[in-house]
Chain A
Amino acid sequence: MTPIHEPLSEEAAARLVMIAGLSATPFSISGGGTRNLLPAADGAEQLSTRGLNGIVAYNPAEMTMTVRAGTPLEKVEAALAENRQMLAFEPVDLRGVLGSSGIPTIGGVFATNASGPRRFVAGAARDSLLGVRFVNGKGEIVKAGGRVMKNVTGLDLAKLLAGSHGSLALLTEVTFRVLPMPETAVTIVVSNLNDAEATAAMATAMALPVEVSGAAHLPESVRGRFVSGALPDGAATVLRLEGLAASVSVRAQKLADAMAGFGAVSQCDAGLTQRLWREIRDATPYADGTSRPLWRVSVAPTAGQQLVAALRLEAGVDAFYDWQGGLVWLRMESDPEAALLRRYIKAVGGGHATLLRARPDVLAATEIFQPQTDAVTAIQTAVKASFDPAGLFRSRMTG
């Protein structure tokens, strides 16, 4: 059993890291333990943020919140909901697909840059992040950014730490921007389009001045596994509109008219819309209790379906698309096919793939994060050393 450290304060965390540095004891950083990407490296001890819990400041009128990193996401979202506010980027909950328990933490959300369907219009987790406090590999307590919307004072270390998967520092506190919840939401469904047609339809929808806030394509193979099969038969291309009720109904009509040329159009009400987009966010059809390899792939929106079409010729794949086609959830039949997948990603113009799930031995043997070019790897290594010169924080992102 690897020792688990749960410091109860930022100072205690800093002391722990400083002392660990003396004996060169490596750590692997975790939040609520909902991801199991990291089989602990040789002798690495677990350093959890769970003891750093609580909302430090919340000012609804300023649309900002400051929270300790180990605070459960649920607690943050509940406090926001009381004021009809939300995290704009719709953080993903991977417990279903990973078959993990644990409680997602706000620090984990930012450390993994876990962004959902609204990402392609409202930005990723990193775009909402205004400031951080963290403990670097030298055991120093550092702050970066602040609590105002616009801030270009010095280097933007907060955004660099977002998505760094615990490779640079231990986040102890995050300050982020929040947004008002939309008054209502509807989904326009276009039925029976193939992947290529759906990609064209989504691009057309995004060119209209109707502010689509979610654009996903659910091929026939997965459609029935969303919202208990409540969507019309055949593949479903789904487009979400949010905002004031009066405006949403006008925009929905406009969007439905524009989509009629692509296929049969129907509409989901607010309740079904909420459920549907939560399930798209969390890739619910792949919460199948298996450990079949699951990839999260990010490419240019028009390239998603090209990638899947190419892969289908060589491997057993099942897929659906979010972010106008640019986010591909890809479940492989047996082998993760990492080399093949990454070769095709390059061929369709570049992007990246992260392996979220597989058998433990496969996870351990596969490069789960996208390999970078030598030149970029060299910068990453130097940046890692600037935070953590002794390499105490082990993460599969930087080795």
Chain B
Amino acid sequence: MDQIAFLEPRPAVLSRRREIVADLLDLLPEGCLVHEPRELVPFETDAFVSYRRLPLAVALPETTQQVAAVLKYCHRYGVPVVPRGAGTSLAGGAIPQEDAVVIGLSKMSRILEVDFANRTATVQAGVTNLAISDAVSADGYFYAPDPSSQLACTIGGNIGMNSGGAHCLKYGVTTNNLLGVKLVLIDGTIVDLGGKALDAGGLDLLAVVCGSEGQLGIVTEATVRLIARPEGARPVLFGFDTSEEAGACVADVIGAGIIPVAIEFMDKPAIEICEAFAQAGYPMDVEALLIVEVEGSEAEMDAMLASIIEIAGRHGVKVVKECQSATEAALIWKGRKSAFGATGRIADYICMDGTVPLGQLPHVLRGTAEIVAKYGLRVANVFHAGDGNMHPLILFNANDPEDAARAEAAGNEILKLCVDAGGCLTGEHGVGIEKRDLMRHQYSEVDLVQQMAVRAAFDPQWLLNPSKVFPLEGRPAA
């Protein structure tokens, strides 16, 4: 199996390990530095568990100034830095390396200000995604991006990966809901980008920081948009005999000018896994299931559903199931959002994240099935169909190295299929290390060199999360 490589640890850093730890202990308050090897173990990987590296030390700063002090120190001595939120990255975005100091934002978890008149919340980077919505829910607001890991993942991590979620079809992903950040640059300089105004002057640096996977600086605070919660929301289940019919139905709904809040797709293996876990009430006699959520007033939801049901009818829908209560609705979403966890109970899996143009969904679903069959593996598909963001879960046995290698090879082929169909490698999980070596399939050398030049404008020495996103060979000399 071709293991994904990390950068070689810098001997000059490793040999100074004791000094570095001592210096960082001086810079930080008590209890904010982890450096005993056994205590470092929880930080050696993230949700992309096939790879792990023990970091040199883990700093857990309590303030922006402490983040700045650590970065300034690492910059001065050429020590790589890996930022970390909750460690839920599926792409290995938070996996450290032996010569790196991890900066974890978990202690910076306060909501600083909620401003309903301007519909903004200003929070520290370690606040969890769900905590923002929880804090404003009683007043009738929510924060829109909702990754499945929203109970655990942090807003800082969401900004790093430009995270999405099921409800992004209507409300957009993180970048569309982010107004400003406090960013610490690699040399310890603290800058504010954006704020409560809807757009900022100068170049839109915020846009390039969002989704930069911790390579441009460390976000310590964020100002995000709040949205008034709709009057009502209703998920409806549509069951089909084939995945192709379900895929074609999605394209037609969008093509007809109807934009529900969410359109989620599950194939038979995914339905079985999620139903066994959550007893969500999914129909079991269908090959593919769509969860379509509409929102608004009763009249509005009725009108929109009527149009969707008519379109689904043209595609041979077999079951239409409207939920009868809030509890049923919650169960439907519980089943969907626990798809990854529930799959983890029955097998090891890797989760792909390619996005394709809607018209290509049936083609890519067929291709995915063929690729997986060729490698003698199984796949469960559960994904955000409304925006073409696919999540094939390739099931394998991690105790069998050959099986694992086959899964990784199948995953790479599927991602290439997505790119060749006019799509991209990753819709919301990020490149991390997982997709790094496929970047040349999507981008030309010139495209990548331009991106790396922008990266180097922020971090000329490539100290921030250096093993990620860009293929290791062909980088500019730091």
A interface residues with partner B (beta carbon < 8 Å): 59-64, 84-85, 113, 115, 119-120, 123-124, 126-127, 136, 140-144, 146-157, 159-160, 162-164, 167-168, 179-181, 199-200, 203, 206-209, 211, 243-244, 246-247, 250-251, 298-303, 323, 326-327, 349-354, 369-370, 372-373, 375-376, 379-380, 382-387, 397-398
Question: Which of B23-31, B41-49, B292-300 lies on the face that meets chain A?
Answer: B292-300
Contacts of B203 in A (CB 8 A): 160, 163-164, 167-168, 380, 383-384, 397-398
Contact with A along B423-457 (1 / 0, CB 8 A): 11111111100010001001110111011011111
B164 at the interface (CB under 8 A from A): yes
Flag if B304 contacts A244 (CB, 8 Å): yes
CB-CB under 8 A for A380 and B202, given A154-B451, A352-B197:
yes
11 contacts between A and B (CB under 8 A): A61-B359, A85-B257, A113-B199, A126-B207, A154-B448, A207-B119, A299-B197, A300-B120, A300-B197, A301-B118, A372-B202
Of B7-15, B59-67, B171-179, B333-341, the segment with at least 4 beta carbons within 8 Å of chain A is B171-179
* B37 CB within 8 Å of chain A: no
B259 is an interface residue with CB less than 8 A from chain A: yes
B357 lies within 8 A of A59 (CB)? yes
A250-B297 CB under 8 A given contacts A61-B358, A162-B204, A206-B119: yes
Q: Quick check: B259 and A302 within 8 Å, CB to CB?
A: no
Are A124 and B198 in contact (CB-based, < 8 A)?
yes
- Contact B358–A62 (Cβ < 8 Å): yes
Ranked 8 nearest A-B pairs via Cβ:
A370-B201, A352-B201, A180-B257, A61-B255, A159-B207, A300-B196, A150-B427, A382-B457
Please determine whether B387 and A124 come into contact, CB atoms closer than 8 angstroms: no
B236 at the A interface (CB under 8 A)? no
Report how far A353 CA is from B200 CA in the complex, Å. 9
| Residues in chain A near residue B192, CB distance under 8 A | 373
Closest residue of chain A to B180 (Cβ to Cβ) is A350
Would you call A144 and B447 a contact (CB within 8 A)?
A: yes
A349 CB contacts on chain B under 8 angstroms: 195-196
Chain B residue with the shortest CB-CB distance to A384: B203
Which residues of A have CB within 8 Å of B212?
A: 155
Given A146-B424, A206-B228, are A119 and B198 also a contact pair (CB < 8 Å)? Answer: yes
Knowing A124-B199, A155-B211 are in contact, say whether A247-B299 is a contact too (CB < 8 A).
Answer: yes
**Bound-complex Cα distance A157 to B203 (A):** 11
Q: Is B231 an interface residue (CB 8 A)?
A: yes
CA distance A123 to B172 in the complex (A): 9
Q: Point out residues on B near A: beta carbons under 8 Å.
A: 115-120, 140-141, 161-162, 164, 168-169, 172-173, 175-176, 185, 189-193, 195-205, 207-208, 210-212, 228-231, 251-252, 254-255, 257-259, 296-297, 299-300, 303-304, 355-359, 384, 387-389, 422-431, 435, 439, 442-444, 446-448, 450-451, 453-458, 469-470
Contact yes or no, A354 B117, CB < 8 A:
no
Contact of A150 among B168, B258, B299, B446 (CB under 8 A): B168
Complex CA–CA separation, A181 to B259 (angstroms)? 11
B199: chain A residues at CB < 8 Å are: 113, 115, 119, 124, 163, 298, 352
What are the residues of chain B within 8 A of A60 when measuring CB–CB?
255
CB distance from B396 to the nearest CB of A (A): 24
Chain B positions within 8 Å of A323 at CB level: 198
CA gap between A243 and B294 in the complex, in Å: 14
Q: Please measure, in the bound complex, the distance between the C-alpha atom of A365 and the C-alpha atom of B57, giving whole angstroms.
A: 53
Cross-chain contact of A372 among B201, B254, B355 (Cβ < 8 A): B201
Chain B residues whose C-beta falls within 8 Å of the C-beta of A302 in the assembled complex? 117-118
Report chain A residues within 8 Å CB of B230. 209, 211
Q: Would you call B450 and A144 a contact (CB within 8 A)?
A: yes
| Chain B residues, Cβ within 8 Å of A372 | 201-202
How many angstroms from the CA of A149 to the CA of B176 in the assembled complex? 12
User: Does the CB pair B431–A154 fall under 8 Å?
Assistant: yes
Say whether A244 contacts B303, CB under 8 Å.
Answer: yes
Contact indicator B456/A386 (Cβ below 8 Å):
yes
Cβ–Cβ contact B387 & A148, under 8 A: yes
From known contacts A153-B431, A157-B451, infer whether A383 and B457 are also in contact, taking CB-CB under 8 Å: yes
The residues of A that contact B356 with a CB separation of less than 8 Å are 148
Contacts of B204 in A (CB 8 A): 113, 126, 159-160, 162-164
With both chains docked as a complex, state the minimum distance between the C-beta of B12 and any C-beta of chain A, in angstroms: 26
Q: How far is the CA of A351 from the CA of B180 in the complex (A)?
A: 11
Chain A residues whose C-beta falls within 8 Å of the C-beta of B303 in the assembled complex? 244, 246-247
Give the residues in chain A near B447, CB-CB below 8 Å: 142-144
B140 — which chain A residues lie within 8 A by C-beta?
207, 209
Closest to B458 in A: A379
18 new A-B contacts at CB < 8 Å, known A61-B358, A152-B173, A153-B425: A119-B198, A124-B199, A140-B450, A142-B446, A152-B161, A155-B451, A156-B211, A244-B300, A244-B304, A246-B300, A250-B300, A301-B118, A349-B195, A353-B201, A354-B201, A379-B191, A379-B205, A386-B450
Most buried by A among B201, B230, B300, B439: B201
- Report the nearest A residue to B162, measured CB to CB: A152
**B357 contacts A143, C-beta separation under 8 Å:** no
Given contacts A141-B446, A154-B469, A369-B201, contact A148 B424 (CB under 8 A): yes
Chain B residues within 8 Å of A126, by CB: 204, 207
- Whole-angstrom CA separation of A136 from B447 in the bound complex: 11
Whether A327 and B198, one on each chain, are in contact in the complex, defined by CB atoms closer than 8 angstroms, is yes
* Closest CB in chain A relative to B474 CB, distance in Å: 14
Min distance, Cβ A113 to any Cβ of chain B, angstroms: 7
In the assembly, what is the distance between CA of A386 and CA of B449, in Å?
10
CB distance from B43 to the nearest CB of A (A): 24
Bound form: Cα–Cα A123–B177 in Å = 9
Among the interface residues A147, A163, A298, A300, which one has the most CB atoms of the partner chain B within 10 A?
A: A300
| Residues of chain B contacted by A384 (CB below 8 angstroms) | 203
Contact A150 B164 (CB under 8 A): yes
Evaluate contact between A142 and B424: CB separation under 8 angstroms.
no
By beta carbon, the residue of chain A nearest B195 is: A350
B359-A157 in contact (CB<8A): no
Shortest C-beta distance, A201 to chain B (Å), equals 11
CA distance A203 to B226 in the complex (A): 12
Q: Are A148 and B388 in contact (CB under 8 A)?
A: yes
How far is B291's CA from A93's CA once the two chains are assembled, in angstroms? 40
What A residues does B387 contact at CB under 8 A? 148-150
Min Cβ gap B95→A in Å is 17
Considering residues A64, A120, A301, A354, which has the most beta carbons from chain B within 10 angstroms of its beta carbon? Answer: A301
Contacts of B197 in A (CB 8 A): 298-300, 303, 326, 350-352
Q: Which residues of B contact A163 (CB under 8 A)?
A: 199, 203-204
Question: With A147-B422, A148-B355, A244-B300 given, is the CB distance from A375 to B185 under 8 Å?
Answer: yes
A209 near B198: Cβ-Cβ < 8 Å: no
Taking a contact as CB atoms under 8 Å apart, the answer to whether B259 and A179 are in contact is: yes
Residues from chain B with a CB closer than 8 A to the CB of A385 are 457
Contact, CB under 8 Å: A59 / B359:
yes
The residue on A at minimum CB distance from B430 is A152
Residues of chain A within 8 A of B115, CB atoms compared: 300
A25→B154 CA distance, assembly (Å) = 48
For B197, the closest partner residue in chain A by CB is A351
A184, B304: Cα distance in complex, Å? 15
Which residues of the partner chain B approach A61 to less than 8 Å between Cβ atoms?
251-252, 254-255, 358-359
Contact B457 A203 (CB under 8 A): no
Give the docked Cα–Cα distance between A157 and B297 (Å): 39
User: Taking A59-B357, A140-B450, A379-B191 as contacts, is the C-beta distance between A156 and B299 under 8 angstroms?
Assistant: no
